[in-house]
Amino acid sequence: MASVLNVKESKAPERTAVVAGLPVGLFSDQLLALLVKSHFQDIKNEGGDVEDVIYPTRTKGVAYVIFKEKKVAENVIRQKKHRLARKARHAELTVSHFSDKIFSSVNAILDLSVFGKEVTLETLVKDLKKKIPSLNFSPLKPNGRISVEGSFLAVKRLKESLLVRACSLLEKDRNFTSEGRKWNRQNPQRSLQRSNNPLASVRTLVPETARSGEMLVLDTDVFLYLHHKCRSYESTLKKFCILSQEKVDGEITTICLKNIQVGSQPNNAKHVKELIEEWSHALYLKLRKETFILEGKEKKEKRMIKWACEQLSSRYPEVLINFYRTHVDVIGSSSDTYLFKKGVMKLIGQKVS
């Protein structure tokens, strides 16, 4: 299984395009790689000589196409949207610059033990694999934990699927408890037997706001960009009188939306959710991330990197810069992040790789 390292080791990142949206399951990996190569060698698609196609990769539906010339790669990337041949059902491909920090893959560890004895975990995992075939699942551990890898959109769909299942189980549990209260008047021991209900821990999966409002899941980097660089986010919340509660959990951020004005339209939260989902999807396809590692560097070099980022921030107003103790993340469009990185490297006196 190929990975980003294959591209790095080939010393051809500037001649490499990341191709997402390949139809999974229609063809063998070898045939799909040939179709991709044929497509990007066609002059009609702004293509040219292809040195190699790396597929399959760690992320299902994503390939790395290495061109012999940097100019050809830039022409292909500039076109952004491509469609494969008819035999591949005209699958729409998204093409972008290569970066080891592109938002193409997310790793998540799930703790399914919270579902307790209400469901058979093996059956649950089997259903999830069938429902979202683009995800890679590790073997289920005895403690109920399982790791999942795939595109952010696929992981987002997985989390939403689990939340829907949790809500359904909670509703059944609520009805059962309501009936049980009547029965408990005659048999107090029943309440003792129900006190160890494992579904109590499932409630932690569903934020309180989400039970009476709307919930959505975003890539954390996309959310940070939306929150800090897109004025429409705050202005829309204010316009529709929506309270937004955000919970950052590593690479994923959960947002709960709720009406805060008495008498406001009940569908306001749903409408705002749809708007945010539309914006975040567009940003997901557009944004790229470059990272400057600070950990292990001398204090002087760390200060130089931070200083260079600050110097360039006004020149690239559409770029979001996040400073952390161990690194600096630079998020923006493919061209902006590339030029920003190039500018930083020049300011600190290093050669752009």
Tokens of 50: 């292809």
pLDDT tens digits, 149-158: 876 667 777 8
In Å, how far are 162, 233, 257 from 212, measured between CA atoms? 18, 21, 9
pLDDT band at 280 (very low <50, low <70, confident <90, very high): confident
pLDDT band at 234 (very low <50, low <70, confident <90, very high): very high
DSSP result, 282-334: HHHHHEEEEEEE-TTS-HHHHHHHHHHHHHHHTT-TT-EEEE-SSEEEEEEEH
**Contacts (Cβ under 8 Å, ≥6 apart) of 133:** 24, 25, 60
Task: Tell me if residue 244 falls in helix, strand or coil.
Answer: strand
Is pLDDT above 50 for 203? no
Tokens of 348: 């600190």
Task: Tell me if residue 108 falls in helix, strand or coil.
Answer: strand
Q: Quick count: other Cβ atoms within 10 Å of Cβ 292?
A: 20
Q: Which residue has better confidence, 23 or 153?
A: 23
Mean pLDDT score, 74-93: 81
Mean pLDDT score, 78-92: 79
Is pLDDT above 50 for 30? yes
The secondary element (H helix, E strand) that includes residue 275 is helix 268-286
What percent of the chain is helix, strand and coil (3-state, nearest 5)?
Answer: 50, 25, 30
pLDDT band at 302 (very low <50, low <70, confident <90, very high): very high
Tokens of 13: 């990142």
Q: Which residue has better confidence, 320 or 187?
A: 320
User: Over pLDDT 70: what percentage of the chain?
Assistant: 77
Question: What value does the mean pLDDT of the chain take?
Answer: 78
The pLDDT assigned to 108 comes to 76
- Give the orientation angle of helix 268-286 with respect to helix 220-229, to 10 degrees: 110
Q: Quick count: other Cβ atoms within 10 Å of Cβ 345?
A: 16
Is pLDDT above 70 for 352? no
Which range scores top for mean pLDDT: 7-11, 14-18, 202-206? 14-18
Which range scores top for mean pLDDT: 139-143, 153-157, 206-210, 308-312? 308-312
pLDDT tens digits, 235-246: 999 999 999 988
